[in-house]
Amino acid sequence: MDDLMRPPPDVSTSRDGRGEGEELWETTAYTACCHKPVAVEFLSDQSVNFQHLNNPVVNYEDPNLNISIPIFSINGNHDDCSGEAGAAVAERFSLLVSHLGKLGSIPGRVTRFLHVGIVPDDATVFVYAVAVGVSAMDVIGTTGLLNYFAKWNDFKKVDISPLLMQKGASRLAIYGLSYMNDERLSRLFRDGKVQMLQPSVHAKEWFNLMVLHQNRVDHGKYTFIPEEALADFLDLVMWGHEHECRIVPEKNPLKKFHVTQPGSSVATSLSAGESVEKYVGILKVYKKDFKLEPVKLETVRPFVMDTITLSKCNIEHTVENPSKKTGHGAADLNNSVLDHDNLTCEQPYHPEPSPCYGVQKSLPH
């Protein structure tokens, strides 16, 4: 089984413009749609795996679609579908209706849309609140272009039912854990409220792959998910959300499974973790063995991180315009890194992107 391994795109109806959404649809349709048959048998209960969809069917088995490369994706924090924002909208509208003293109601179970009817004396006004618990992942998943799974609506207990697939002699179980507030999820793990269901048939023959989108780096007590909280029977964990690329699988000494962290495909902040080379990977699985082939991204905008210690710079602190002098020092540093190996684009037919510099200033004491 071959799987193009890359972090799911960060898409959000509230943060990204229409152009990004259109590009996502176009790319997904171009990549996934074709008449070539899929040689992977889907074995698990689709009504459980895709229970949040009106048509809970894996897309390549849908007779109305032509899918040759099925894409399976969880959601991250930029396309959070928890519905918490929708509940807040419902509360605001309820208070508004109550305050105006008009007729209106809000359904007890908030679903995809809120509909509040306000009836003034001289006219009828209807107010619609859009997308309660709905993100771009919901929309593109509804179209069938990708298989969106592991959407959570219950935050008191999480039961992870795997996607079960078979190709030849290989059996693959994919456990998805979409983004959830780290403190909430940490509490669920501590309380034993996170359960990972295992197949009862051929239990020892499944290659168990987990994909999740949470903090891996320790940001403080209960603000990250430690690897040791995950199940012992896992073979490989694909860790999203973290931006630093650590594509080579790292073995956890206590749990024995491996962890791969693809990282972000572009530099999104001026931090040291973003300055490392960017990779995606091709994962090959045969029975209980796997091999991950890193593939370097060749058109990423170059990013160099360095530090300027002002106390070591030849700057007179009594000059009238010290900022100008410091600026000259930074300019000299920029000129010195122009020949850095990371600034070379390996494919000459692509226009070489302009470099991006991250400079940290250390002030003298």
For tokens 């359960």, name the residue.
Answer: 195
Residue 35 annotated to the active site: no
98-130 in b/e burial notation, b at 16+ Cβ within 10 A?
eeeeeebeeeeebeeebebebeeeeeeeeeebe
Class of residue 141 by CB neighbours under 10 A (exposed 0-12, middle 13-18, buried 19+):
buried
Nearest by Cα to 238 from 80, 79, 74: 74
Per the structure block, which two tokens stand in for 153? 């609506």
| Separation of alpha carbons 88 and 71, rounded Å | 32
| Separation of alpha carbons 20 and 25, rounded Å | 9
Between the CA atoms of 46, 52, 53 and 59, what dihedral angle is there, to the nearest 10 degrees?
-40
Residue among 35, 78, 99, 213 flagged as catalytic:
78
Class of residue 23 by CB neighbours under 10 A (exposed 0-12, middle 13-18, buried 19+):
middle
SS3 (DSSP) at 48: helix
Kindly tell me the sign of the dihedral angle through the C-alpha atoms of 164, 165, 166, 171.
negative
For tokens 């190996």, name the residue.
Answer: 341
Active site residues: 78
